[in-house]
């Protein structure tokens, strides 16, 4: 098998694993508020507060564990670390599905935060098997996998949730275990032994990972931008279900379908527009365009007066999906092959540190403007805050001034394992 065929085959497997995992995650989102409200014996407005603290626990554990997992993958390889993380996610879903009290949900979120750092390893895996000039398109496929999961998962979860709030969690657990089992037999290692490095505890913690990035000033500068982006991003998972149920009286099925619509729109961006717009715009301008689209869409969510309007803004929001593939490509080119896991661990840790605060802040902002003591009834307050954060993120990006990178020639086909040439190579 040629190196190119091996890279395409490996990338296809890890993308499929992410996709299956996201189907499981997508299934539980529409029913989470119902489960929380039932276990805590509270209304939806107060359930949002519990939801915010559950995000807090998840993010805190991811913040602590992402650098460790990233450094372990740089030492021992991506495969064993990724497989163990996938199995742990299955345990998390099983605990949540069987939880007798709200305390068990916090235990499950703790484990899930530790396992959620698997995306650190997945991104490092992708950097291993793709050429630097192809990484924006490859990271776009990761986004496509996430999007597909949110097409299928929430729709299924919304339907299953009408029978039981626990059923989607149990189905997701089974899916996660199958995912880990299949990966055990078919997922090859991506990190060559000569590119592995000694494990060092001083680098395998959040502070050490950020200190190590001092050698790459541009990457360190972009971390401030990632903080603002993550605050904005967390407005969606923290408040979307509560917002639509409270303001528009949506059912779990309607919430699931709306999340599926977000998945469809993002999948179009990740699988097609990243190939078209990023090479034409360049990675730097693609970041600006994506940030502007996200800021406008969040403001549109907040000011919508009819539920159908949300679907219009979902289409605009999907262009925000251009940002991370372009940004990941910019940052990954700044470090060597033996440090990709550390880079992705540091990036994840920065995002997770932000998510320790952001979901709680966003959910409390939602509750503050929807509860009985609200100064003004305005369920979209968190989305307005998210819009402002993306405007500030664009300002930080301008200050960092990342260098434009060379783009592929016009007649060069962007890398993708599903392109016709690659498909024929793999089946031939």
- Tell me phi and psi for residue 227, to 5 degrees: -60, -50
Q: Give the number of domains in the chain.
A: 1
Cβ(393)–Cβ(232) under 8 Å?
yes
Tokens of 300: 């549109």
Q: What pLDDT score does 24 carry? A: 67
Rounded to whole angstroms, the Cα distance separating 395 from 400 reads: 9
Contacts (Cβ under 8 Å, ≥6 apart) of 180: 83, 86, 87, 90
Burial class (CB in 10 A: 0-12, 13-18, 19+), 107: middle
- Residue corresponding to tokens 């059923």: 167
Cα separation, 410 vs 359, in Å, equals 42
418 within some domain:
no
Q: Is position 23 within any domain? A: yes
Whether 417 is covered by a domain: the verdict is no
Query: The domain containing residue 315 runs over which residues?
Result: 3-186+207-405
Map tokens 């650098």 to a residue.
67
- Confidence (pLDDT) at 415: 29
Which residues have a Cβ under 8 Å from the Cβ of 38 and sit 6 or more positions away? 165
- Asked if the structure places residue 303 within a domain, the reply is yes
| The two three-digit tokens of residue 193, written as one number | 């032994």
249: left (phi over 0), alpha (psi -120 to 50) or beta: left
- Name residues of the chain where pLDDT drops below 50: 1-7, 406-428
Q: Can you list the positions of beta strands (E) in 143-209?
A: none
Task: Note whether residue 304 is domain-resident.
Answer: yes
Q: Which residues contact 386 (CB under 8 A, 6 or more apart)?
A: 231, 232, 233, 235, 236, 294, 298, 362
The CATH number covering residue 115 comes to 1.20.1250.20
Residue 223 · residue 206 · CB < 8 Å: no
Is 120 within 8 Å of 69 (Cβ atoms)? yes
Q: Which residue has the tokens 């993550």?
A: 230
Tracing tokens 């107060």 back to the chain, one arrives at 46
Q: What is the pLDDT of residue 349?
A: 65
- Residue 15 in any domain: the answer is yes
DSSP string, 326-391: HHHHHHHTTS-GGGHHHHHHHHHHHHHHHHHHHHHHHHHHHHHTTSTT-SS--TTHHHHHHHHHHH
Is residue 195 in a domain? no
Residue 428 lies in a domain: no
Residue-wise DSSP of 290-321: HHHHHHHHHHHHHH--SHHHHHHHHHHHGGGG
Cβ within 8 Å of residue 132, ≥6 positions away: 329, 332, 333
């Amino acid at each position: 098998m040629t190196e190119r065929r091996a890279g395409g085959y490996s990338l296809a497997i890890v993308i499929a694993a992410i996709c299956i995992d996201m189907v499981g995650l997508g299934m539980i989102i529409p029913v989470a508020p119902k489960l929380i409200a039932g276990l805590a014996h509270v209304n939806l407005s107060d359930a949002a507060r519990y939801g915010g603290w559950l995000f807090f626990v998840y993010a805190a554990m991811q913040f602590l564990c992402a650098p460790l997992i990233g450094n372990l993958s740089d030492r021992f390889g991506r495969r064993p670390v990724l497989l163990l993380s996938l199995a742990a996610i299955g345990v998390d879903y099983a605990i949540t599905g069987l939880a007798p009290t709200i305390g068990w949900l916090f235990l499950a979120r703790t484990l899930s935060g530790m396992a959620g750092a698997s995306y650190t390893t997945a991104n490092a895996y992708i950097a291993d098997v793709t050429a630097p000039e192809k990484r924006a398109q490859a990271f776009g496929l990761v986004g496509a996998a996430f999007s597909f999961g949110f097409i299928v998962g929430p729709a299924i979860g919304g339907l299953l949730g009408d029978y039981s709030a626990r059923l989607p969690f149990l189905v997701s657990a089974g899916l996660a275990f199958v995912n880990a089992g299949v990966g055990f037999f078919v997922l090859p290692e991506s990190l060559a032994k000569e590119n592995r490095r000694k494990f060092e505890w001083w680098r395998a913690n959040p502070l050490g990972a950020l200190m190590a990035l001092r050698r790459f000033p541009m990457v360190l500068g972009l971390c401030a931008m990632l903080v603002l982006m993550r605050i904005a991003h967390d407005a969606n998972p923290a408040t979307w279900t509560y917002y639509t149920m409270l303001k528009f009286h949506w059912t779990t099925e309607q919430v699931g379908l709306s999340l599926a619509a977000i998945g469809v729109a993002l999948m179009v961006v990740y699988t097609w527009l990243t190939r078209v717009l990023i090479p034409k715009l360049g990675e730097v301008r693609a970041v600006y365009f994506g940030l502007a689209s996200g800021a406008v869409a969040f403001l549109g969510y907040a000011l919508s007066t009819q539920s159908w309007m949300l679907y219009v803004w979902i289409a605009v929001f999907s262009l925000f999906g251009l940002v991370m593939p372009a940004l990941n490509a910019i940052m990954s080119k700044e470090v060597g092959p033996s440090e990709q896991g550390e880079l992705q661990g540091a990036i994840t840790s920065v995002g997770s540190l932000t998510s320790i605060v952001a979901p709680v802040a966003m959910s409390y902002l939602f509750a503050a403007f929807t509860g009985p003591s609200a100064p003004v009834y305005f369920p979209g307050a968190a989305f307005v805050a998210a819009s402002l954060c993306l405007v500030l993120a664009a300002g930080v990006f301008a200050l960092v001034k990342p260098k434009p990178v060379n783009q592929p020639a016009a007649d060069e086909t962007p890398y993708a394992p599903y392109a016709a040439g690659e498909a024929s190579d793999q089946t031939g």
